[in-house]
A and B are shown apart, each in its own frame.
Chain A
Amino acid sequence: MNHLTRRPALLRWLFIAPALVYMAAFFGYPLVRNLLMSFQHYTPTTYFTGEAPFNGLDNWRAVLADPLFTDALWHTALFTAGSLLGQFTIGLALAVFFSRRFRLAGPIRAVLLLPWLVPMVVSAVVWRRILDQEHGVLNTFLRGLGLSDGGVPWLSSPSVALLSAVLVNIWIGIPFNMVILYGGLQEIPRELYEAAALDGARPWRAFRSITLPMLRPVITVVLVLGFMSTVKILDLILALTAGGPADATQTLGTVTYQLSFLRLDFGQGAVVGTVLILVSAVFAVLYLRANRADFGKGK
């Protein structure tokens, strides 16, 4: 008897087990490891001897006391907010544009996807050339139009470089936003627009009262995924400015890279890594709550 009643419970666990083991091994372990590491004196010696003495809050104190960390935090916030705003607005505009059927819509949309296919480092290297103050295509173009004589110091002025990095990242992120939002738009029943038109709604009103609310779950997904990939940005910045000029484009990603892989102080690198994880976790929770609310409403 006992045997039979226990079976469903066991069965349930067996179904969950693979996912659980997978999560524990590939998400749980690295997370816990990284957190522990941030309290350890973890250096190249550790790799040879296996010893990483705990050093309390030393790593945290050292990282938090460095003015560069505060700068990087601020830059990361600006970079992420700016990138998401630009990517999302332009991506949505293009998605709405392409959801009307017209000639060549398909091929043009395909061309717009190209930035997504190019590896980020390649895009960054190309953009570094385009944005070069002296001989970059962009400044040559502006000079030709008579809009600038000295050339805009896109990457060579600390006050402009972060903006340039944001612009490049917007360019990179548009296709992703466009594709997902376009998919979401296809799901909205045409009848709603027809009904709205009969009621005399103009396009802007239809967009606000039908498109945006119906698209909400998709918008949340796009923004949260965009946030996750933007907040940890590293390769783009390394190839574009290497964090310069004068640390103007240092982000949490570049700081953790520098600490871990150039100074080989893995403990301090883990501190910044942990901060990044915490920031992402906050947004992940917000995302889950938003999703649950949507399900609750039966959407």
Chain B
Amino acid sequence: MPSRTARPVLAAVTAGAAVALGLTGCASAPDPGTVTVLNSATDTAEHTKNQKFFDRCARPLGLRVEQLSVPADQVSSKALRMASSHSLPDILELDGSELPQFALTGGLRPLDDLGVDTSGFSRSAVSLGSYQGTRYGVARSANSLALYYNPDLLAKAGVEPPRTWAELRTAARELTRDGTYGLAFSATPDADGVYQFLPFFWSSGGDEARLGDGGGAKALGLWKQLVADRSVSKAVVNWNQQDVNDQFVAGRAAMMINGPWQVPVLDAQKKTRWAVATIPVPEAGGTAVAPIGGTVMTVPKSDTPEREKNAAKILDCLNTPRNQLAWGKATNNVPTRTTAARSYAEQSPKLAPFTELVATARSRTARVGTRWPAVGDALAGAFQSVLTGRSSPEAALRRAQQQASTGK
């Protein structure tokens, strides 16, 4: 009997030791010839496409690239967990709007320190990858939002693609038929809806750093009128950008606001023809200010300088004008180097409006930096309360201002 009681102790001790060993053992030392990447390419086709470009760049350097892909909304939390266990990848691909929060931690290497070639990029792309004037990330390509329209429905109604807000309202009203709305956009209270609201907000002089000064009230007014005219469904407060595209493809919306990532879906169907025009502006002769979106590749600081250098080499190679152009065409996104963007516009005339918009587009974080998530939430609250009739545009923006400033 006595000898038996000793056993559980031993078992408990060994089990505890095994757990402790297991916990410390999980940060495996990466192989020096391998460059690791954390990105959001969970879709098989996208993952393969990425791997092809990585391999093309890594092979001549005698390196291997290993991608770890998690869903887009989990990249930042995954990266933070990896940071706390000192196991960050060599290349961290973040959404542009998340860059400031990571740059602020001091855990990212400024690209100039690594000698990454950052010349010849469009101003908007530079701003997407920068925080407080320092370049931390490179975007290979970028996207924005434009006005898609169904040429058949427009021709039937005798309507030209609208260029101003007044024309947009008239066109949307004339295109609205039984079962078809003139226009569809996303107004969900998340990143989708906020992204879609920005081209209207900014084009009418809205300022995300001072929401309350009334610049964007006209944009809220326009959205409200479009819904009140019944040219836009009240259900847009529930439609994400995918839903909006579904409505357009099903012929239930004659025009929509959407991004170039919908092109594969639009091309895969035969039912609805489509064309792209630039975002309408408040007054004739004005300039459309659309948001720039997309991911940026960053280099987390590493204990081994060699790893950072290898990552830098891969970044340089991925961003040669040739590779950028090929990547842009493969993803329907606009290359961020001005020369590559020019060739892209020539080779994909159908998406030309995106090329123009991206060149002058504005980054969400350029003015408010790490406060963007709070500002975005506040903006979402504003358009949702206006669209559901809870608030006037002016009052909604005043409240948003309050929210954004208390939300740190």
Chain A contact residues, CB within 8 Å of chain B: 7, 10-11, 14, 17-18, 21, 43-45, 47-50, 62, 65-66, 68, 128, 132-135, 153, 155-158, 241-247, 258, 261-265
Q: How far is the CB of B339 from chain A (nearest CB, A)?
A: 35
CA distance A58 to B80 in the complex (A): 23
Which residues on the B side are within 8 Å of A262 (C-beta)? 373, 377
Report B-chain residues with C-beta under 8 Å of the C-beta of A246.
189, 237, 381, 384-385, 388, 390-391
B373 touching A7 by the CB < 8 A rule? Answer: no
Expressed in whole angstroms, the minimum distance between the Cβ of B13 and any Cβ of chain A is: 11
Q: Please pick, from A128, A132, A264, the residue contacting B101 in the complex, using a CB distance under 8 A.
A: A264
By a CB distance below 8 angstroms, the chain B residues around A7 are 2, 5
The 12 sampled A-B contact pairs (Cβ below 8 Å) are A14-B9, A21-B16, A132-B238, A133-B234, A134-B235, A156-B237, A157-B234, A158-B388, A243-B189, A244-B384, A246-B237, A246-B384
CA gap between A66 and B238 in the complex, in Å: 24
Contact present for A247 and B381 (CB under 8 Å): yes
Q: Note all chain B residues with C-beta closer than 8 A to A18.
A: 12
- Apart from A153-B234, A246-B381, 18 more pairs, CB < 8 Å: A17-B12, A43-B101, A44-B104, A44-B105, A45-B105, A47-B83, A48-B84, A49-B105, A49-B106, A132-B235, A135-B252, A156-B234, A158-B388, A242-B190, A243-B189, A245-B387, A247-B189, A261-B76
Q: Which of A50, A133, A263 contacts B374 (CB 8 A)?
A: A263
Q: Which 6 A-B pairs have the closest CB atoms?
A: A244-B189, A48-B107, A133-B235, A245-B237, A47-B80, A47-B83
> Are B105 and A48 touching (Cβ within 8 A)?
yes
Contact B80 A44 (CB under 8 A): yes
Max chain A C-beta neighbours (<10 A), residue from B77, B238, B377, B388 = B238
Q: Given A47-B105, A156-B234, are A14 and B5 neighbors across the interface (CB < 8 Å)?
A: yes
B 368-408 contacts with A by CB, 8 A: 373-374, 377, 380-381, 384-385, 387-388, 390-391, 403, 406-408
CA distance A224 to B304 in the complex (A): 53
Report the minimum CB–CB distance from B176 to chain A (whole Å). Answer: 13
Is B50 among interface residues, defined by CB-CB distance under 8 A? no
Q: Does B310 contact A (CB under 8 A)?
A: no
